[in-house]
Amino acid sequence: MRRRRLARAAFLALITLLYVFLIAPIVIVVVASLNAGRFLVFPPEGLSLQWYVKFMNSGPFVRSFFFSLRLAALTTVITTVIGTAAALYVIRHARRNNALRMLLVAPLQLPGIMTSLALLIFYYAIGLGGTSYLGLLIGHVVVCMPYVFLTVAAVLYNFDRSLEEAARSLGAGSVTAFRRITLPIIKGGVIAGAVFSFITSFDQFPISLLLSGVGTTTLPIQVFDYLRFSFDPTAAAVGTVNILITLGVVIMTERLVGLESLYVGGRQ
């Protein structure tokens, strides 16, 4: 009994340290954004919202913020469609094709800076240009699509095809069967993949670093450029806004479909 208690206490202590390690940076950024001093330091010299006001009154930050939102939203739509279609094909027609599966998840296996460098060289080779909006969008789609593919594939892996066959036998077409039967069942995986895609695109740094150009500066790149010349808590305020957006996406997902349904969907 004593050994069990000691083992449980050690396990709880380890879990607590792990959570502290994960949450501490977030807490530090949020607290530092409220610093009343002129520099980005911790602990803060006082509490103030002046850096949030500066962020909202900053033209470059506001433009890059809304540009990142639009880019992430468009990336999410494209990756959700492509990733879901790819998962349907691989699981139903090429389940044993490991080469195709590895190709679809290859962006996750390479460092982001290497992927962006390869895309930059490829764009110049085909005459697209290295810093166009289309090139940036393609880069975001490439690195975000595997998240949708993996989550939807996990849902489809043990999908009961007899449900679709029953719908087809009752006169439903392929599109109707997918819309009325398949999509509601795999909805959890599709939404989870879309959430991962949106967050990854919004916070994407390596791809945006090499592929962003004039008028296509994302928020992470704007923060990076800002910190090269200034070191006040405005950057922490921007980071806090990013954290709130991520939290808001998770809460909205939970309100719309429920996190439990995502988990259950992944076990279909």
* pLDDT at position 259: 52
Using CA atoms, how far apart are residues 113 and 103, in angstroms rounded to an integer?
18
Topology (CATH) of 59-265: MetI-like fold (1.10.3720)
Q: What is the pLDDT of residue 257?
A: 63
pLDDT value of position 212: 82
Helices 112-126 and 133-156: crossing angle, nearest 10°?
130
Q: Is the pLDDT of residue 263 over 50?
A: no
Alpha-carbon gap, residue 23 to 146, rounded angstroms:
26
Mean pLDDT of the chain: 83
The domain segmentation of the chain, as residue ranges, is: 59-265
Give pLDDT, residue 142: 92
Most confident of 84-88, 101-105, 186-190: 84-88
pLDDT of 261 > 60? The answer is no
Mean per-residue pLDDT for 195-206?
Answer: 90
Residue 174 pLDDT exceeds 60: yes
What does the pLDDT look like over 53-78, one tens digit per residue? 888 888 888 899 999 999 999 999 99
Amino acid making up residue 148: V
Residue 35, classed as helix, strand or coil, is strand
**88-106 confidence digits (pLDDT tens):** 888 888 777 778 888 888 8
Total-model pTM: 0.82
Residue 266: pLDDT band by 50, 70, 90 thresholds? very low
Distance CA 172, CA 193 (A): 28
Say if residues 81 and 194 touch (Cβ distance below 8 Å). Answer: no
